């Protein structure tokens, strides 16, 4: 899997991901979050490369720190040593406030947490389709699987709703509905179908 951006911050971030992440499923998740972050940066008028890089880096250390006692806290020194901007590191730390003590503050912080977990449900919905093509996934299919708590049970629906509401209040004046947000993430992932290997090649 390779990101579509050939240069700049996303490429540098992807090099970091490839150094520390070998699992294809985790790489797919990382790339899905990055696609959603880039989509929202464009929508909100922020730098897409920075937001995409944050999406790529947010779980870069999960394989070496596969528990919440270490991730992402112990990943931060690795990023600092590699020269990453402290603002990017702070955003990554803010996606697990309970463990890091770093509160969400900026739009990018709220976007990251809102885009993180929901990608897992969309990926799972895609992979149970015969075509395994995210471009063929309808929002109604995601909604149906959302209602089945046994499906992709690791996706905490209540948490997704909560962080989406936080994102809505922080960046959309409270006007971003849950299913509008999920639809936006789906659209972003459909635009990155080839990067995610969810363009039918796995069928």
Per-residue DSSP letter, 72 = T
Q: Is 31 helix (H, G, I), strand (E, B) or coil?
A: helix
The token pair at 198 is 């969810």
Maximum Cα interatomic distance, the chain, rounded to a whole number of Å = 44
pLDDT in tens, 105-138: 999 999 999 999 999 999 999 999 999 999 999 9
Rg (CA), the chain: 16
Q: pLDDT band at 7, cuts 50/70/90? A: low
- pLDDT over 80 at 4, yes or no: no
**Mean pLDDT within 95-107:** 97
Q: What angle do CA 198, 200, 201 make, to 5 degrees?
A: 90
pLDDT of residue 15: 95
Nearest of 149, 50, 71, 125 to residue 160 by alpha carbon: 149
pLDDT of residue 118: 98
Per-residue DSSP letter, 133 = B
- pLDDT over 80 at 84, yes or no: yes
Q: Measured between alpha carbons, how far is 112 from 40 in angstroms, rounded to an integer? A: 10
**Mean pLDDT within 186-195:** 98
pLDDT of residue 2: 46
pLDDT of residue 8: 83
The token pair at 171 is 């960046």
**Mean pLDDT within 7-11:** 83
pLDDT of residue 70: 95
Return mean pLDDT, the chain. Answer: 95
Measured over the CA atoms of residue 147, residue 149, residue 155 and residue 157, the dihedral's sign is positive
Tokens 């294809």 belong to 24
Full-model pTM? 0.95
């Amino acid at each position: 899997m390779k990101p579509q951006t050939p240069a700049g911050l996303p490429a540098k971030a992807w090099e970091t991901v490839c150094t520390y992440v070998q699992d294809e499923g985790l790489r797919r998740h990382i790339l899905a979050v990055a696609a959603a972050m880039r989509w929202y940066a464009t929508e909100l008028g922020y730098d897409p490369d920075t937001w995409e890089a944050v999406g790529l880096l947010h779980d870069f250390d999960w394989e070496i720190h596969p528990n919440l006692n270490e991730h992402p806290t112990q990943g931060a020194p690795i990023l600092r040593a590699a020269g990453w901007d402290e603002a990017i590191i702070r955003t990554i730390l803010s996606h697990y406030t309970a463990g890091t003590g770093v509160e969400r503050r900026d739009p990018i912080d709220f976007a990251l947490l809102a885009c993180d977990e929901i990608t897992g449900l969309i990926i799972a919905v895609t992979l149970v389709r015969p075509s395994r093509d995210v471009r063929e996934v309808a929002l109604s299919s995601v909604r149906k699987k959302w209602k089945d708590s046994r499906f992709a049970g690791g996706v905490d629906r209540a948490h997704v709703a909560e962080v989406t509401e936080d994102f809505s209040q922080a960046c959309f004046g409270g006007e971003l509905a849950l299913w509008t947000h999920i639809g936006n993430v789906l659209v972003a992932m459909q635009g990155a179908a080839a990067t995610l290997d969810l363009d039918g090649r796995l069928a």
